[in-house]
């Protein structure tokens, strides 16, 4: 087979011709699938859960197949509907109403999904926090969003700096605890007495639903605000890109603390009433293959970093399991290496379909649709309804094969509608009618897009976005650290690792012990994925005359590359 072009196999998918799909397409047609069409109002929780619970043919179907090392559970659509109604009643009793921010800081567990939909049913805005966040990360997000309620476990509560969070009025605790103050609400106790009937809050398509915090190259994490309207694109891409059918068993490996874990770990499959597999616990090739085998997973959405680990685990790990249920595999979050695609053809006899999008875009935009030939190394083509291009810094399109800024014609259904509390930040994404992604790419003469890298300093480590500023800020809180500059350093398995350069305060000396102590300081204060894997002490950190850290220069030095223009470098 020509490894430059891998055609789709006939009979494997619903192979609609790409050009025909683009021509015959309209978002209004997609909208007709929702109750909005009849009533003018909508709620994601109704479309993704209650609608199936009302359908006699679907109500007893498994919505969630959950497994973790110490727990296994199945929940039908009727059960998920009833329990999320109960939790919506718990929230209502506490006065939660439309537009309030209710955050979730929970492990990946059935309770996450129950409380998440409970929040949406009240019309409140859900804010999922990644379970591995430490105090600083939790503080930044809860302060910025002014969340009035948090749902967490007694263990994770220790990382919630309550004294710094004046807006946080109530905390729901899932699990055994001995807190008695009025502020704390016991999940189990309240659920016991809550009715499983709830009058859902019908909202407008443009009403707020979800905030995901994500990192940029400067400043604190940004609250990316999504509205119920996103369902239109989640629904459509579940059909066109994930190729989901009624009897599929679907598994998205992403955590719901990140956008992939909500858009495609919750909404896309459940809008179609498809059974969704969720795995708690840590990654190992054996238990991942085991999950596909046990649950007969047919459609699998995962990430390059995981796939690279599976490649390293070798053929033997594959052979121990029956993976014949798999019929469609997709990837997101980082560049998908052509070698991984080659391996996928050998290991699963399947093509791995790359998809490109971002927290801000809310849903997939550039993808390898099942009907397209795959060109390994390319992210594919824009989905129907989406115009993508490569633009220069003024927002003018550049010719084919020329590198530039990957841009999308705004708006589209799942696009963010604000950056919470920061209107100027939101505006800064748009130039000349284009949403400018910050990724550099080029488009070939056949319209395939090829990712090249980030244009800013954002780090992508194992598919997780890390803002250098956040890490630098944490580093200089350590008494030994005077100044810090943080970069992403290429790494074969993780894509990039976080590397920190620092100068020390007087009285401190460079030692292995000190570097490890500083690393732990970031790990326990911010989060494990943001902790630098490499640390280096320098005599000075390069800065511009206006005092900005020149991360680009640090990176060039590190990689032995030409340093380019250094005219703004401070003496
Ligand atoms: O640089 C791109 C990279 O991940 C960034 C978005 O990260 P995040 O908002 O955390 O969302 C991740 C999942 C939606 C992008 O700006 N990225 C995402 N998908 C790809 C990718 N890089 C290369 N290829 C992809 N398919």
**DSSP letters for 56-84:** TTTTTSEEEEEEETTEEEEEEHHHHHHHH
> Quick one: CA dihedral 226, 204, 126, 254, positive or negative?
negative
Q: Which of 214, 267, 302, 465 to mutate to test the pocket of ligand 1 (most atoms within 8 A of CB)?
A: 465
Q: Model confidence over 61-104: pLDDT tens digits?
A: 999 999 999 999 999 999 999 999 999 999 999 999 999 999 99
Q: Is 439 in the pocket of ligand 1 (CB under 6 A)?
A: yes
Provide the pLDDT for residue 13. 66
Burial (Cβ within 10 Å: 0-12, 13-18, ≥19) of residue 16: middle
DSSP state, residue 457: S
Q: Model confidence over 248-270: pLDDT tens digits?
A: 999 999 999 999 999 999 999 99
How far is residue 300's CA from residue 62's CA, in Å, rounded to a whole number?
17
- Which ligand 1 atom lies nearest to the CA of residue 331? 26
Provide the pLDDT for residue 123. 98
Q: Model confidence over 233-251: pLDDT tens digits?
A: 999 999 999 999 999 999 9
**Tokens 């250098």, located at residue:** 468
Q: Is 356 in the pocket of ligand 1 (CB under 6 A)?
A: yes
Tell me, in angstroms, the distance from the centre of ligand 1 to residue 496's CA.
13
Residue located nearest, by CA, to atom 22 of ligand 1: 334
Name the percent of the chain lying above pLDDT 70. 98
pTM of this structure = 0.95
Q: For residue 37, what pLDDT band results from cuts at 50, 70 and 90?
A: confident
Instruction: Give the residue among 299, 206, 192 at the shortest CA–CA distance from 251.
Output: 299
Provide the pLDDT for residue 15. 64
Instruction: Give the residue among 335, 252, 240 at the shortest CA–CA distance from 297.
Output: 252
Q: Is 521 in the pocket of ligand 1 (CB under 6 A)?
A: no
- Which ligand 1 atom lies nearest to the CA of residue 464? 10
Beta bridge partners of 66: 73, 278
Residue located nearest, by CA, to atom 5 of ligand 1: 358
Mean pLDDT, the chain, integer: 95
Q: For residue 528, what pLDDT band results from cuts at 50, 70 and 90?
A: very high
Beta bridge partners of 81: none
8 or 571, which is more confident: 8
3-state helix, strand, coil in the chain (%, to 5): 30, 25, 45
Provide the pLDDT for residue 16. 76
Q: Is 437 in the pocket of ligand 1 (CB under 6 A)?
A: yes
Name the percent of the chain lying above pLDDT 90. 90
Residue located nearest, by CA, to atom 10 of ligand 1: 465
Q: Is 301 in the pocket of ligand 1 (CB under 6 A)?
A: no
Asked whether the predicted pLDDT for residue 1 surpasses 60, the reply is no
Provide the pLDDT for residue 55. 98
ipTM over 0.95: yes
Q: Which of 138-152, 185-199, 213-227, 384-398 has the lowest mean pLDDT?
A: 213-227
Determine if the peptide bond prior to 411 is cis (ω within 30°).
Answer: yes
For the record, the structure tokens of 372 come out as 């397209």
Highest mean pLDDT among 7-21, 181-195, 548-562: 181-195
Q: Is 260 in the pocket of ligand 1 (CB under 6 A)?
A: yes
Phi, psi of 111 (to 5 degrees): -60, -30
**Rounded average pLDDT over 543-570:** 86
Q: Is 359 in the pocket of ligand 1 (CB under 6 A)?
A: yes
Tell me, in angstroms, the distance from the centre of ligand 1 to residue 224's CA.
15
Tell me, in angstroms, the distance from the centre of ligand 1 to residue 263's CA.
14
């Amino acid at each position: 087979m020509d490894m430059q072009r891998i055609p789709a196999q006939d009979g494997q998918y619903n192979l609609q011709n790409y050009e025909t799909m683009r021509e015959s397409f309209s978002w209004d047609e997609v909208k007709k699938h929702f109750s909005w069409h009849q009533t003018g109002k909508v709620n994601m929780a109704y479309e993704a859960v209650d609608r199936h619970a009302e359908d006699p043919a679907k109500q007893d179907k498994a919505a969630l197949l959950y497994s973790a090392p110490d727990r296994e559970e199945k929940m039908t659509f009727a059960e998920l509907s009833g329990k999320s109604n109960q939790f919506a009643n718990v929230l209502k009793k506490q006065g939660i109403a439309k537009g309030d921010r209710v955050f979730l800081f929970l492990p990946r567990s059935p309770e996450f999904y129950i409380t998440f939909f409970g929040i949406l049913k009240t019309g409140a805005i859900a804010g999922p926090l990644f379970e591995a966040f430490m105090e600083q990360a939790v503080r930044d997000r809860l302060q910025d969003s002014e969340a009035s309620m948090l749902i967490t476990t007694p263990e994770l509560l220790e990382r919630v700096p309550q004294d710094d969070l004046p807006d946080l009025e109530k905390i729901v605790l899932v699990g055994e605890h001995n807190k008695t103050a009025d502020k704390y609400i016991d999940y189990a106790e309240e659920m016991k007495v809550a009715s499983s009937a709830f009058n859902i809050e019908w909202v407008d398509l443009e009403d707020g639903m979800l905030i995901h915090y994500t990192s940029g190259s400067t400043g604190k994490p940004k609250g990316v605000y999504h509205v119920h309207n996103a369902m239109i694109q989640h629904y459509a891409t579940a059909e066109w890109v994930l190729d989901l059918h009624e009897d599929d068993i679907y598994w998205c490996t992403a955590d719901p603390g990140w956008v992939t874990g909500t858009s495609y770990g919750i909404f896309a499959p459940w809008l179609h009433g498809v059974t969704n597999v969720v795995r708690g616990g840590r990654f190992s090739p054996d238990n991942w293959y085991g999950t596909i085998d046990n649950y007969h997973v047919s459609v699998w959405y995962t990430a390059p970093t995981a796939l690279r680990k599976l490649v390293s685990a070798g053929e033997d790990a594959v052979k121990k399991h029956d993976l014949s249920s798999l019929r469609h595999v997709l990837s997101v979050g980082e560049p998908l290496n052509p070698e991984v695609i080659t391996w996928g053809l050998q290991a699963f006899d399947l093509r791995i379909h790359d998809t490109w999008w971002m927290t801000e875009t809310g849903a997939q935009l550039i993808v390898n649709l099942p009907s397209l030939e795959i060109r390994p190394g390319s992210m594919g083509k824009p989905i129907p309804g989406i115009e993508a291009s490569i633009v220069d810094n003024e927002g003018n399109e550049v010719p084919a094969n020329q590198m530039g800024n990957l841009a999308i014609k705004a708006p589209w259904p799942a696009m963010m509608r604000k950056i919470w509390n920061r209107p100027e930040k939101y505006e800064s994404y748009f130039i000349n009618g284009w949403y400018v992604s910050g990724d550099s790419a080029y488009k070939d003469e056949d319209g395939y897009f090829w990712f090249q890298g980030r244009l800013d300093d954002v780090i992508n480590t194992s598919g997780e976005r890390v803002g250098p500023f956040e890490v630098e800020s944490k580093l200089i809180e350590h008494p030994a650290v005077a100044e810090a500059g943080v970069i992403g350093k290429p790494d074969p398995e993780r894509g990039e690792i976080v590397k920190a350069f620092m100068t020390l305060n007087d009285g401190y000396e460079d030692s292995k012990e000190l570097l490890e102590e500083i690393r732990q300081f970031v790990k326990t204060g911010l989060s494990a994925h943001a902790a630098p894997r490499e640390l280096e002490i320098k005599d000075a950190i390069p800065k511009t005359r206006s005092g900005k850290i020149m991360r680009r220069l640090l990176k060039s030095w590190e990689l032995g590359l030409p340093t380019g223009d250094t005219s703004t470098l401070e003496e």
